[in-house]
């Protein structure tokens, strides 16, 4: 890369990330001061991070350990996301069980009238992306009464859109389908999450057909508890990851960054003050304690980020993927992209391998191979699962697929068949209520 361009990019990124690190680290201190960490694992991650920040301030080499912590944090959030995906399956089931115990005072206008409203909701927008999004949302809430053969046929229709596209695109959707349908879960889900793991196993074994009102209430309470734990822990790990990302940018940008020594000393002094508080577990944090220092940072973040955006960053593939400057530049760009868990670039073995991977596209044999493997995994899941779980998984998978309808008439026919084949009146009423809520919410956004 051009030396001048590199210095401009890295200087702006360095200054911006130093300000972000101070602000994000202070926010983390406030959060820890206000809330008791829920697990020893959360505390252990915080201590690892504090140790690395202390090492960086002292001038020690911490890059490898920091990247390992970032990898561990990414895995932790993958585990929490998998739990959330699993519990969504069982939330789908409990939603459709509720009406058996809690009668609704709403009266239905009838299937035909409701379907007319639903179709109007889908087609009232001229934006094809919005329309497709609404179709997928509706599909995810409709009653499911499909044979496995019909379900697999719809699955193939949805995935056939990837024929001729890069294989990476198909791999991405297959990863989503596998994780959200519970056929592929990350290792170590029980580690550090024993209570969530036990609840998940209970839901998998639950008798939904003969569920009592007491059983329903107990299951709902467990689902609410799991949801709160996932929300709290995910938010905490995202905060940790943001601090980690800021420190990663400093490490990547430091060799080329130009910064006033007094400015850097100021940032380090604030970070050291926060670190001392966390290490001493002194959580008597008052706003006034850091007020003057934080006030001095006002406006800097915006100014430095604007400088960063003005630098013309190289697009990926414009330079050799084995060039270390290219790798640092693109990694800094990814870390500042706004995606806390963006995958970082590692040196590739050679241009030829990269070119072959990029030029590979999805053909019929490759799609059939992927489908066959996924169907086998679904068959294994369905073989030991209660029917409500099978239906919930089918609904989730169908809502994740690209829209596979060729016309509005096909959509209408699918919705009509879905309601017509559902003989469980309580489930049908619940689906209608959920779709009513969806339409009301979407209309408020317009």
Output 189 or 348, whichever has higher pLDDT.
189
pLDDT tens, position by position, 11-32: 999 999 999 999 999 999 999 8
| Average pLDDT estimate for 191-218 | 91
What pLDDT band is residue 319 in, cutting at 50, 70 and 90? low
Cβ 119 vs Cβ 138: under 8 Å? no
pLDDT greater than 50 at residue 354: no
Packed helices 287-296 and 3-34: angle between N→C axes, nearest 10 degrees: 160
Residue 316, pLDDT > 90, answer no
Give the pLDDT of residue 107: 55
Query: Which pLDDT score, from 0 to 100, does residue 351 have?
Result: 47
The predicted model gives 226-232 an average pLDDT of: 94
* Mean pLDDT computed over 211-237: 94
C-beta separation of 60 from 88 below 8 A: no
Domain extents for the chain?
A: 3-73+233-359, 81-166+189-230+373-445
- C-alpha angle 312/314/317, rounded to 5°? 165
pLDDT at 265 exceeding the cut of 60: yes
More confident residue, 329 or 87: 87
pLDDT over threshold 50, residue 352: no
Per-residue pLDDT, 2: 66
Of 373 and 4, the one with more pLDDT: 373
pLDDT at residue 419 is higher than 50: yes
On average, the pLDDT of the chain sits at: 89
Confidence at residue 202, expressed as pLDDT on a 0 to 100 scale: 93
pLDDT at 446 over 60: no
Q: Is the pLDDT of residue 349 over 50?
A: no
Q: Residue 282 — pLDDT band, cuts 50, 70, 90? A: confident
The three-state DSSP-derived secondary structure of the chain is CCHHHHHHHHHHHHHHHHHHHHHHHHHHHHHHHHCCCCCHHHHHHHHHHHHHHHHHHCCCCCHHHHHHHHHHHHHHHHHHHHHHHHHHHHHHHHHHHHCCCCCCCCCCCCHHHHHHHHHHHHHCCCCHHHHHHHHHHHHHHCCCCCCHHHHHHHHHHHHHHHCCCEHHHHHHHHHHHHHHCCCCCCCCCCCCCHHHHHHHHHHHHCCCCCCCHHHHHHHHHHHHHHHHHHHHHHHHHHHHHHHHHHHHHHHHHCCCCCCCHHHHHHHHHHHHHHHHHHHCCCCCCCHHHHHHHHHHCCCHHHHHHHHHHHCCCCCCCCCCCCCHHHHHHHHHHHHCCCCCCCCCCCCCCCHHHHHHHHHCECCHHHHHHHHHHHHHHHHHHHHCCCHHHHHHHHHHHHHHCCCCCCCHHHHHHHHHHHHHCCCCHHHHHHHHHHHHHHHHHHHHHC
What average pLDDT does this structure show over 155-177?
A: 93
How confident is the model over 108-117, as pLDDT tens digits? 667 888 999 9
Residue 164: exposure state from Cβ atoms within 10 A (0-12, 13-18, ≥19): exposed
Chain Cα centroid distance, residue 47: 25
pTM of the model: 0.85
Banded model confidence at residue 350, pLDDT cuts 50, 70, 90: very low
Q: What is the mean pLDDT of residues 145-156?
A: 93
Alpha-carbon gap, residue 418 to 205, rounded angstroms: 27
Average pLDDT over residues 269-283: 91
Q: What pLDDT is recorded for position 425?
A: 86
């Amino acid at each position: 890369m051009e030396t001048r361009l590199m210095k401009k990019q890295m200087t702006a990124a360095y200054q911006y990330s130093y300000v972000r690190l101070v602000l994000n680290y202070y926010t983390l201190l406030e959060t820890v001061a206000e809330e008791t960490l829920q697990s020893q694992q959360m505390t252990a991650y915080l201590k690892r991070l504090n140790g690395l920040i202390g090492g960086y301030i002292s001038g020690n080499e911490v890059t490898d350990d920091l990247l390992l912590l970032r990898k561990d944090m990414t895995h932790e959030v993958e585990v929490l996301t998998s739990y959330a995906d699993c519990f969504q399956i069982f939330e789908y089931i409990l939603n459709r069980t509720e009406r058996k115990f809690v009668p609704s005072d709403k009266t239905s206008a009838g299937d035909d009238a409701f379907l007319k409203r639903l179709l109007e909701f889908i087609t009232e927008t001229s934006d094809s992306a919005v329309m497709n999004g609404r179709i997928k949302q509706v599909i995810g809430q409709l009653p499911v009464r499909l044979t496995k053969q019909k379900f697999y046929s719809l699955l193939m229709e949805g995935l056939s859109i990837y024929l001729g596209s890069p294989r990476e695109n198909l791999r991405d959707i297959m990863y989503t389908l596998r994780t959200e349908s519970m056929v592929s879960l990350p290792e170590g889900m029980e580690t550090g999450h024993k209570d969530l793991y036990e609840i998940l196993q209970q839901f998998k074994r639950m008798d939904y057909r003969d569920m009592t009102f007491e059983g329903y209430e107990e299951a709902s309470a467990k689902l609410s508890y799991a949801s709160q734990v996932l929300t709290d822990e995910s938010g905490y790990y995202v905060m940790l990851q943001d601090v980690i990302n800021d420190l990663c940018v400093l490490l990547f940008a430091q060799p080329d960054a130009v910064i006033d020594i007094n400015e850097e000393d100021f940032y380090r002094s604030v970070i050291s003050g926060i670190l001392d508080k966390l290490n001493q577990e002194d959580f008597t944090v008052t706003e006034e304690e850091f007020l003057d220092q934080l006030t001095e940072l006002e406006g800097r973040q915006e100014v430095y980020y604007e400088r960063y955006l003005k630098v013309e960053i190289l697009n990926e593939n414009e330079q050799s993927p084995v060039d270390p400057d290219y790798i640092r530049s693109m990694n800094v760009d990814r870390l500042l992209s706004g995606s806390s868990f963006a995958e970082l670039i590692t040196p590739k073995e050679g241009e030829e391998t990269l070119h072959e991977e990029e030029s590979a596209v999805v053909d019929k044999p490759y799609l059939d191979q992927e489908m066959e493997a996924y169907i086998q995994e679904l068959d294994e899941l369905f073989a030991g699962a209660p029917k409500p779980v099978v239906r919930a998984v089918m609904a989730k998978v169908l809502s994740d697929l690209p829209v596979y309808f060729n016309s509005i008439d096909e959509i209408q026919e699918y919705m009509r068949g879905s309601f017509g084949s559902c003989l469980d009146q309580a489930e049908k009423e619940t689906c209608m209520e959920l779709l009513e809520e969806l339409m009301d919410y979407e209309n408020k956004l317009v």
